Structure 1
C-alpha cells in the first residue's frame, strides 16, 4: 500500500506524528471493534517498536505512543493484522462513530453496523472524500442506551420512529441531542451521507475544514434546500434524542440476548500497557466472542459474556489493572498526555490526576485535566475542567451551557490539593441539599 499522504498534524496508522515522548500512531477501529488477534498485534507492536504505551481515545480508537526509529516495521505489523484502510488516502477519513454496543444494545432501534460498513467503504473509495479534513467526523446513532451523545460531529444521524416508520433524523455541526435539521428514510441513510459530504466540498473554501466553519457564513436553510435536490428529506416533528445514562460503559450490563451481558472496564486515564491489552484479548477469547470494543469514554467493552461468568471476568479484569466499578475515583477522571509527552502541556496532567483521585473518594462527576486549551483528551465539555496554567497548578471551570469553551471560570491557579478541597466541599454541599 502506498503511504504517500498529505501533510497533517493528526496522527494516523500510516502517518506517525512526533511528540516529546516519541512518535504517535493512531489506529482507527471500525465501530470501535477489534478482534482478539488484532488486539494482540497492537500489544506486540507497542512492545517491539515503541515505549509500550497504548491509549484508548475519545473517538473509540487506539493509539501507540513513544514510537522510535522502526516506524515502517510498526506500520507493516498493523497492516498485516488487518487494521489499516482499504486505500492509503482513505485512512484520514475513517471518522465514523457508532455506539460501542451497536448490534447488542437492548434499546437500539436498528443495528447500525451494516450501514456503517457501507459508509466507511464509500469514504475510503470515493477519491473526492479524501479532500476532507482528518478531523471531519460523522456519527451514526441507532438509539442505543450506551451512546456518547455529547461529542459534536460535522454530520450526525440518529434512529427515530414517526408514525410507524423508521427514520434517520440528522443534524449538522452538533450532537444528536440537538434539534434535527430533518430526516430521511432508513434506506436513504447512505445517500444522505454522500450528498452532505459532496455538498460540503462544493461549498466550503479550503480554510473551512469543518461544517461549523461553513455554516457560520452559509445559511443552513440554503444548505438544506440544496441537499433536498439530491435526497428526499422528511420533516420530523417533536423528536428529541433522549440523553444516555453516564455509567453504562463500566461494569456488567444486559445485552439484547437475555443470556448475555457486556462488561465495561476503564484503563486508568485511558492508558493500557501490552500486558493489559493481551490479557483483555485472552478474556475475550475465553469468555466472550473473541472481540473487544473500545468506547468514546476511553474504556473497553468485553461483549457476549454469560451472566454466570461475570464475577470471574471482572475479577480477572481487575487483576490486569482495569477499573470495573463506577465509584472508583480514577474511573471518573480524564487527562491528556500532559507535559510528560507533549510540548504544549503546561503540567503533568496524568500524574496530577492520580494525585487528585486519591484525594477525591466521594466526588461523582467527571473531571477533565487538560494541559492546554486544545482539550485533546475530551471532545465534549466535562462537568469540571482543570486547565493547566503552570506545573501542578490549574484554573477550575464548571460546565455552563450559556458559556463557550470549558464553561464558567470558578477559581484560578489552584494546586491539586486546593482543587480536591474545593470539589469535596461542593460534593458535600450537594449531598446536604
Structure 2
C-alpha cells in the first residue's frame, strides 16, 4: 500500500480527521458486517488509543472518536484485524450499502452479498474509480423488508420480479428516488455498476462530484444512451421501491431459516463503549453466527439467533445498555455529535436528546426525532419525520417532514427549549387531527 492518501475532510480508516474531542477514524464495513473478533479489535483500539467512544454511523459503518497521538498504532491494529481496504486509495470509495438483513431476510428476492463482493473489489482495485468523491455511494437491495431506501445514493440497484424474470431495477440521485430509470438482467448487475461509474467519470467535471450535480446539467436520456452502449437496458414501468415495512431494526424478527431470528438493538444515540461492543461480540459467538451487522439506523443486529434464545439475547443486550424495544423513546432518537465534539455544533445535541427522550417517555411517546447541531445534518442522510435544528445552546427550530418542502421539511416553530419541544409534541400526538 504505497499510494498516498488524497486530501479530504472525510475521515477514513487510513485518514484520521481532527475534531474538538480528538481524532476520528471511520471504519467502513463490508456490507455493514463485522466478525466478533473484529468487533473486539475495534473495542481494544478505542480503549488503547482513544477515549473509548465508538459510533455506529448512518451508513452502517463504525467510527472511533477522541483519538490521541498514536494514529499509526491504531491504524495498524485495525488493519491487522482485516478491517482495512485492499488498496490505500480504495478506502475512500468503498461506499456500498446493503440491507442489514442481506441473505437472511424472509422477503428477499436475491442474496446481494456475492454481487456486493464484486462491486467492492472493483471500487478498491480499479484505479480510475479512485477519482470518485469520498461521498459517492452505491446502494444494493435484494427486495428485503429491512432496507433503508431514503438515503440519496448516487446509484441504487433493487431486485425486482418483472414479467416472470428477476432483474436489477436501478435509479440515480438527481432523479425520483423510488422510481427506477431502467433495469438490467440479473447477471449484469456488476457490469451495470462499472458502466454507470465509467460514464459518470467521463462526463462529470471536477466540480461535479456527485451524480445529482452531473444530472442537473446532463439530460438523463443522454446519460442512459451512453449506458446502453455498454450494458443492455430494459425499462421497468409501474413499479417503485417500497420503504414502508415498519420498524424492523429493533427487537427479534424471523429470518429466512425456520427457527432463527435476528435481534436488533440500538446503542443510545448510536454510541457504544468498549464494554458494550465486547459484550455484543460475546453474544454473537454464544448465541448467533459469530457476526454483528450494523445498520443505517445507527443500530446493530445479531443474526442467526435461535428463536428460543431470543429473550435471553434481548435481556443480555439491555443489560449492556442497548435498547431492544421500539417503545423506548431513546431508541427512536438520533443526534449528531453536537457542540461537545464538533466545532460547527451550536448545541449539545446528545445531552438534549437524552433530556427529550426522558420527557417523551414520561408522556408515553416514542417518536422518530432527529436533533442536528447545524444544517449539515451529519446524523441523518434521510429526512426524518421530526427534525430539531439547533440555533443556540439548548434551543432548536422545529421542522416536520413535508414532501413538498426541501431540506428538513416545514418549519413549525423557532427557538424552542427542549421542554417546549416535548410539550408541543405531546399536544400534537394527542390531537385527533394527527391520530
Question: Shorter-normalised TM-score: what interval?
Answer: over 0.9
Instruction: Quote the Cα distance in structure 1 between the aligned partners of 2:318 and 2:413.
Output: 36
Return closer, same or farther for 1:175/1:16 CA change in 2, 3 Å cut-off: farther
CA distance in 2, matches of 1:234, 1:364: 43
Match of 1:396 in 2: 398
Distance 1:177 1:375 in 2: 19
Are the aligned partners of 2:372 and 2:389 in contact in 1 as well (CA < 8 Å)? yes
For 2:434 and 2:159, how far apart are their aligned partners in 1?
40
- Once the two structures are TM-superposed, the CA of residue 3 in structure 1 deviates from its matched residue by 6.3
User: Does the aligned pair in 2 maintain the 1:267–1:323 contact within 8 Å?
Assistant: yes
Asked if the contact 2:146–2:245 (Cα under 8 Å) also holds between the matched residues in 1, the reply is yes
CA separation in 2, counterparts of 1:146 and 1:421? 32
Partner of 1:243: 243
Match of 2:426 among 403, 424, 427: 424
What does residue 369 of structure 2 align with?
A: 367
On the 8 A contact 2:174/2:211 being kept in 1, the answer is no
Deviation at 1:363, TM superposition (A): 2.8
Partner of 2:389: 387
TM (norm. structure 2) is 0.98
Give the equivalent residue in structure 2 for 1:276. 276
- Runs of 5+ unmatched residues, structure 2: none
**What is the match of residue 230 of structure 1?**
230
The Cα of 1:48 is off from its aligned counterpart by 0.1
Is 1:299 the equivalent of 2:299? yes
TM-aligned CA deviation for residue 4 of structure 1: 1.8
Larger CA deviation: 355-364 vs 309-318:
355-364
- Distance in 2 (CA, whole Å) between partners of 1:369 and 1:164 is 45
Native 8 Å contact 1:373 1:387 kept in 2? yes
Partner in structure 2 of residue 117 of structure 1: 117
2:164 is aligned with 1:154: no
**Equivalents in 2 of 1:61, 1:224: separation in Å?**
31
| 1:68 CA drift (Å) | 0.3
In 2, Cα distance between the equivalents of 1:385 and 1:430?
A: 22
Inter-CA distance 432–184: structure 2 relative to 1 (3 Å threshold): closer
State the 1:266 CA deviation.
Answer: 0.2
Question: How far apart, in 1, do the equivalents of 2:176 and 2:281 lie?
Answer: 32
Q: CA deviation at 1:432?
A: 7.5
Q: List gaps (5 residues or longer) in structure 1.
A: none
Q: Could you tell me how far 1:240 is from its partner in structure 2?
A: 1.5
Aligned to 1:22: 22
CA contact (8 A) 2:100 2:147 kept: yes
Equivalent residue, structure 1, for 2:62: 62
Aligned length: 433
Q: Tell me the secondary structure at the aligned position of residue 139 of structure 1.
A: strand
TM-score, length-scaled by structure 1: 0.98
Q: Secondary structure at the match of 1:301?
A: strand
Alignment of 1:23-422 (within 5 A): 23-173=23-173, 178-361=178-361, 362-422=364-424
Deviation at 1:163, TM superposition (A): 1.4
Instruction: Tell me if the contact between 1:337 and 1:349 (Cα under 8 Å) persists in the aligned partners.
Output: yes
Could you tell me how far apart the structure 1 residues matched to 2:282 and 2:275 are? 10
CA deviation vs aligned residue, 1:260-283 (integer Å, no higher than 9, x gap)? 000000000000000000000000
Q: Kindly indicate whether the alpha-carbon contact (under 8 Å) linking 1:170 and 1:176 is maintained by their aligned counterparts in 2.
A: no
- Partners of 1:423 and 1:120 lie apart in 2 by 43
User: Following TM superposition, by how much is the alpha carbon of 1:364 offset from its aligned partner in structure 2, in angstroms?
Assistant: 3.4
Shift, 1:365, TM fit = 2.8
Q: Secondary structure at the match of 2:93?
A: coil
Q: Is the 1:25–1:63 Cα contact (8 Å) retained in structure 2?
A: yes
Please state whether the residue corresponding to 1:91 is helix, strand or coil. Answer: helix
- Counterpart contact for 1:156–1:175, Cα < 8 Å: no
Contact kept in structure 1, 2:329 and 2:367, CA below 8 Å: no
Structure 1 position 175, deviation (Å) = 8.6
3-state SS of paired residue (2:405): coil
Q: 1:277, 1:123 → 2: CA distance?
A: 29
Deviations 1:192-211 (A, max 9, x none): 00000000000001000000
Q: SS of the counterpart of 1:246?
A: coil
SS of 1:395's equivalent in the other structure is: strand
- Contact 2:174-2:216 within 8 A present in 1 as well: no
CA contact (8 A) 1:149 1:175 kept: no
Q: Cα–Cα, structure 1 residues 287 and 3, in superposed 2: closer, same or farther, change >3 Å?
A: farther
